[in-house]
Amino acid sequence: MNAQAIAQVLASGVLMGLMYALIAVGLSLIFGLMDVVNFAHGEFLMMGMYLTFGLAVGLHLDPIIGMPIVGGVLFMAGVLVYLLIVRHAMRAKANVGMVQIFSTFGLGTLMQGLAQYFLTPDYRQISDSWLANKTVEIGGVFLPQPQIAGAVVSLLAFGGLYLLMSRTDFGRALEATREDQGAVALVGIDRNRVFALGWGLGLAMVGVAGAMLANFYYIHPQVGGAFSGIAYVVVALGGFGSVFGALVGGVIVGLVEAMTTLVLPASLKTVGVYALYLLVVLLRPSGLFGRL
């Protein structure tokens, strides 16, 4: 394989990696805030993609225009999921961890079932968006525009998230709540409100990811499965709860996955990712940027 082909593989890896990071950051955010792993994460990605598709078909809104709307809807979904499900699951007297796992896992299964029933198991794709089928070629390396857009949005979202966390009262409240849930009550921060907004923010991020993904990926009730598996690895690699870790973890997973195919058969491309993950677990169990 020549240098051009290797450059192509690396470029594809980085673009996909930034997408993985954007998909995973919501998961990391929610975990960091309240130690809850959202097992319906992939299904919220699927929901974001279907919403984007609905806006594109029903209202002729390009995914890029639809993105803030999808993010907003998912934000509200996140608040509702916390208030209606997770808040109650966290009150369990015994085995709180298990109750949380089963409640979000059950929610995911329900969402998949509903999507298959109401939206049919047919595959959908947004074929006439602004960026569809457009590609930039630089010295023989092809960069699909929808994926470039996804990568740019991912970087912007991470930038925005950084500002939100470090420069606003809400961000400080979020940070404080994650440091000590009990103590924040003493200074007048409503824990439930912060958690609900945290869930909203986490799912809004995955909604934005879904909108950008729908620009170049097929949409299907089970589409979340392929990505949520990777999202868990990204979060574990970058460090549970670390926003910056999700960004670095996503890019590493994308790159390692792509580079593995240069030395191993393509069917084994996840081997590289999991080997790296095992290495991190052995040497630095909290993940690269985790603070556990």
- Binding to other proteins (CB under 8 A) within 58-117 occurs at 113, 116
Residue (of 8, 10, 23) closest to 247 by Cα position? 23
Among 59, 76, 97, 133, binds other proteins (CB under 8 A): 133
Size of the site for other proteins (CB under 8 A): 44
Residues 34, 244 contacting (CB under 8 angstroms): no
137 binds other proteins per the rule CB under 8 A = yes
Tell me how far, at minimum, the Cβ of 57 lies from other proteins, in Å. Answer: 13
- Structural contact between residues 13 and 254, judged by C-beta atoms closer than 8 angstroms: yes
Indicate the residue among 34 and 273 with the shorter CB distance to other proteins. 273
Q: How far is CA 76 from CA 84, 135, 136, 211, in A?
A: 12, 35, 36, 16
Of 133 and 192, CB closest to other proteins: 133
| First-to-last C-alpha distance (Å) of the chain | 42
Q: DSSP for 244-277, please give it.
A: HHHHHHHHHHHHHHHHHHHHS-GGGHHHHHHHHH
Identify residues 228-287 at the interface with other proteins (CB under 8 A).
Answer: 230, 257-258, 261-262, 265-270
Cα–Cα distance, 213 to 232 (Å, whole number): 18
Q: Exactly one of 38, 52, 103, 147 binds other proteins (CB under 8 A); which one?
A: 147
CB 206 within 8 A of CB 73: no
Closer to other proteins by CB, 262 or 288: give it.
Answer: 262
Q: Does residue number 169 form part of the binding site for other proteins (CB under 8 A)? A: no
Q: How far is the CB of 247 from other proteins (least distance, A)?
A: 18
5: contact with other proteins by CB under 8 A: yes
CA distance readout (Å), 248 to 20, 80, 255, 291 = 10, 30, 11, 15
Q: What is the DSSP letter of 133?
A: T
- When asked if residue 129 is in the footprint of other proteins (CB under 8 A), the reply is no
- Is residue 29 within the footprint of other proteins (CB under 8 A)? no
The site for other proteins (CB under 8 A) is made up of 1-2, 5, 8-9, 12-13, 16, 20, 113, 116, 120-125, 127, 133, 135, 137, 142, 144, 147, 216-218, 220-222, 225-227, 230, 257-258, 261-262, 265-270
